[in-house]
Amino acid sequence: MDLSDDELERLKAEGNTLYQQEQYEEAVQKYDVALGGPESDGNGMRMGISTALLLNRSACRLVLADRAPPGAGVGGETEPGSKLDMYCSAVDDAQSALRGLRMVGSPLLAKALCRCGRGQLGMCAEKVAKLDRAEQLYRAEGTLNAEALVGARRNIATGRNGLDEAAMHLGESLELAPDDATVKKYLKKVQQLQAKLAARGAPPASQAVPEPQPAAFAPDVVFTPGASWMANLVALEIPLKPPHSGEAALPVFLQKQRNTNNLGELAIWIMYSDHLGGPELMAKASAIGIDTKYECSAGGAWGNLSTPAKHGELRSADEFVLAFDFNRHSNDYARGVPAALVAAGVIEEVRTAGRTEFGEPRLIYQAKF
């Protein structure tokens, strides 16, 4: 049933009044009706009202999750209505609001980031508590699998909706609202929980990844530190062999980020640089056999240098699986990319982790930036 803007505003106002009266469950029910159900994100609704409703429902769910008793058991299951489930729902609401706010920009962006990070912190704290109970139980039974326990803690530290993401969201919120004491409080709690996990073999990715060593790069490599370990850039002109003769160089950027669609490992993008200007860039690309109509544009993306890893395939946070396109490509310039980057000192081949179903080697590389 589609509701008019007046009806939506009325439901929002009623929910807000209930929130102020600390009747959080009743407030959630009002927001549920307005959004179209407890699992709905208001898709198709006017962005301004849907964003406000999502943020308000997220705030209610966070309070309810904070007040809920710890979940029973030792696993990480999100049983409906459990403390962990409520934190997950609060994060879902905040992330739905965040996607819209990032597109349009809004004073509400800092609030959405804070609620997202706060919810992720709650999720992680509940999961850590469950693991602590599991460790005690399994140790008493003599069935403790220490390696599996460390792996689970590392997933909390660096995985999807883990502490690294909580710190990132809260840090970005603090940049937008530097004097917000609430954000500072939750960021400090994230750091305390990160320290606890680091002491148990699960450091944050920012600690797990070695510092870049630009001095080891080739002379033509320009290293540009990013805002975090996930956004370090290198700019360089990599010499690539054209299809016929001679040698030419193409200016590129490499960008490192987190592959949130998989296991949290690195995703590395290789992009054409536009610092030469469009015409000169196109001329250089054309000289080494790149189809500038389809494969190159000034500042345009080239594609992934990495491909998603399998569980347990990577041994450290700075490793990645080389994208198979570089095995399959018929052009010399593409096949020469990994070797050129190794020669430039920005990546290093470390091993082969088996083969694909098509017989291709799964080459593991290490990012040096």
Yes or no: say if 155 and 312 are a contact pair by the CB < 8 Å rule: no
Yes or no: say if 365 and 322 are a contact pair by the CB < 8 Å rule: yes
Beta strand segments in 140-215, E: none
Alpha carbons 10 and 14: distance in angstroms, whole number: 6
**Which of these CATH numbers, 1.10.3720.10, 3.40.50.300, 1.25.40.10, 1.25.10.10, describes 5-204?**
1.25.40.10
Per-residue model confidence (pLDDT) at position 328: 66
pLDDT at residue 351 above 60? yes
Per-residue model confidence (pLDDT) at position 301: 44
State CA 275 to chain mean position distance. Answer: 28
The top-scoring range by mean pLDDT among 111-125, 149-163, 286-300 is: 111-125
The string of DSSP codes covering 119-142 is HHHHHHHHHHHHHHHHHHHHHHHT
Helix/strand/coil percent split, the chain, to 5 = 50, 15, 35
Can you give 337-351 as a three-state secondary structure string?
HHHHHHHCCCEEEEE
Alpha carbons 355 and 294: distance in angstroms, whole number: 30
Per-residue model confidence as pLDDT tens digits over 237-263: 777 665 555 666 777 778 777 654 444
Q: Identify the CA nearest to 251 among candidates 274, 233, 218, 219.
A: 274
Q: At what angle do helices 146-158 and 163-176 cross, to 10 degrees?
A: 20
Range of weakest confidence among 129-133, 168-172, 294-298 = 294-298
Average pLDDT over residues 18-32: 96
Per-residue model confidence (pLDDT) at position 178: 92
Percent of the chain with pLDDT over 70: 79
Per-residue model confidence (pLDDT) at position 243: 53
Looking at every residue in the chain, the average pLDDT score rounds to 82
Q: Domain-by-domain residue ranges, the chain? A: 5-204, 214-367
pLDDT at residue 150 above 90? no
